[in-house]
Amino acid sequence: MRRRTIIAIIITALVVFLTNKVWLNFKPMTVDFDISGRGICNIEVQLNKENNDKFEKIKSLGKKINLDKNQHAHFSIERAKFPKRLRLVFKNLDSTVEIKNITLKNKKYKLDDLNAFGINAGELALNQDTIQITPPQTENSIILTYNKPLKIRTSVKFDIKIFLIIMILTFLLAYKLTDYVANFSTIKNESRIEIIFLTIFFIFLFIPMIHINQNDISINENRYLANWKPLINKEGKINFNFGKNYNTWFNDRFNLRQYFLDINTYITLLLTKKAKKGIIDKNGFIYMNFEANHYYLLKQIDEKDYDTLIKFNNYLKDKNIELYVLLVPCKGYVYPPTEKILVNDNYDKLIEERVNSLNKNSNMHIINLQNKLKEESKNKYMYYKTDHHWTDDGAFIGYQELMKEITKKHPDIKILKDEDFDIFYNTKVRGDWGRDFLWGQSTRRTNIPLNYKKKLHKTEYRYYKHKNSNLLQTKVIHTPRKRVKYYYFPKGSDYRVILLGTSMSESLCEFIPYTFKNVFRLRNNNVKNISENEEFKIMKYYKKTILDYHPDIIIFCISDDNIRHLKNIFSMS
């Protein structure tokens, strides 16, 4: 009797502890501030449990904020019981922003001492009640830290009724269970160990539900997490996909999810050098599985599929616009994997045939970089090891080859050289739209754990910063069906240029905007409200934009696997 009572008390204490969210209600810690600027950026609010600069024990919440209008940013962070330090992490910050009225705990706790704020990069200016942050040219990821300890705690409500109900019912059930187990072992001659094991097993089933991730964005995966979709929506309609929606929501947010993903990936990497959707060769290069399909996709293309690009070229000629197509090869065919499982030996020949088909009877300007990048790869890194994009060095080679072709007709244009830039080095990757220094898209897409990422990022890459970068004026617009950057450089050649194409164009933006006075960067993939199969329908979405801008030159930068999409340029359906 005494032993059963002790066991029941232990079980009751454990259940009461695990259900503390039910009877001990910690209200979310709110963080509010007013912010204004330009463009769209990701902001993550981090509250650290310890009073130090490491920020290892944090509760956080990330959101995407439109800075084009004065915005009131509100963050409601769950389970941040006793925060000691605060910082704001800004991603994809392309312009100066102003922040004021930073408050916590439903505006009851105001951070008045603005001198306590500091940033890791860029410029910080304090003006009365306003914080002004200007990102540096080389990095759009900024951390704003409040360096004084917070003297605040979340409000808590102790529900004595629910606490007593849980405690009493659990004790009675636990006592009855121990009594049942004792009798079961005696009468049925079964092992108590088996019963205990099953009990513990079912207890562990509740662990994924102990903490549900409430963030809108996964910073590690750089994507939105699935939203909660109720069984009955606000209009009173039944959601017949509730089961599927719930499964997606729970899979994105259950407790310890990232921990299990990291363990699985790490074990797989150690045993096979393979990761989700890719492989890692012995030289530390990550290759995505989609790169293996380039050869077969190109092989399926019919010559008539090129007619649309020729038609596009002729259409622009009639408008006195010159078209230059810059063709960037797949990384795997410049740096073949040591295992040689993702490439085909006939690829070079096939690409050359396809380019010759495009040039045939069309008088087009197509710059195929396949051989040039292979040659230059012997001395410099043309591509990142942990990303499918080309490096600044690779893009600079591509820029020079492009400009050699353009200056045949326009010898007055100055081609930039090494001496026009300050060179610096970084082991991280700057390849896409935001110009952030990150781990690389291949590590994110393959879900490689942080400690393994650090092992892979030991290679230093060269980066270019124009010596007159302070003169470049930039305006970023990212709205539905429109993702553009306007550049004005007073020292550039007096031409109007549109840089059209995919993410391979982004690293060219370190060079082309400093060559011409007016450059209009028009992104045609990964644009809001334009699906993947619509991305290359240039005339459907951008005909008016192109004609209104009146460009002298259009540079169309694409990777070789995009050739199959060129047939859609004039498609309106």
From first to last of its 573 residues, what are the pLDDT tens digits of the chain? 677 788 888 888 888 888 777 777 778 899 999 998 877 888 999 999 888 888 878 888 888 888 876 788 999 988 788 899 999 998 878 778 889 999 999 888 999 888 889 888 878 888 878 898 888 765 567 899 998 999 888 877 777 777 887 888 888 878 777 776 666 555 555 555 666 676 677 667 667 777 777 777 665 555 667 888 888 887 888 888 888 888 888 888 888 776 676 676 667 666 666 666 677 887 888 887 666 555 555 666 666 667 888 889 999 999 999 999 999 988 888 888 766 555 566 666 777 777 777 766 567 898 989 889 999 999 999 999 999 999 999 999 999 999 999 999 999 999 999 999 999 999 999 988 888 888 888 887 777 777 777 888 889 999 999 999 999 999 888 777 888 999 999 999 999 999 999 999 999 999 999 999 999 999 988 887 888 888 899 999 999 999 999 999 999 999 877 877 888 899 887
Residues of the chain with CATH 2.60.60: 28-146
- Kindly state the tokens that stand for 495: 């031409």
- Report the pLDDT value the prediction gives residue 344, as an integer from 0 to 100: 62
Residue 10: how many CA atoms within 13 Å on its side-chain side?
8
Q: What is the CATH number of domain 28-146?
A: 2.60.60
| Amino acid 212: pLDDT | 76
385, with CB counted inside 10 A (0-12, 13-18, 19+), is buried
Q: Would you state the pLDDT for residue 290?
A: 63
- Cβ neighbors of 6 (< 8 A, separation 6 or more) are none
Helix axes 2-18, 160-187, angle to 10 degrees: 140
Per-residue pLDDT, 223: 61
- Cα dihedral: 33, 38, 41, 46 (round 10): -20
Read off the tokens for 527. Answer: 């644009």
Residue (of 293, 297, 387) closest to 343 by Cα position: 293
Q: What is the pLDDT of residue 336?
A: 80
- φ, ψ for residue 175, nearest 5 deg: -65, -45
Backbone angles phi, psi at 300, to 5 degrees: -80, -10
Asked whether 430 and 140 are in contact (CB, 8 A), the reply is: no
What does pTM read for this prediction? 0.60
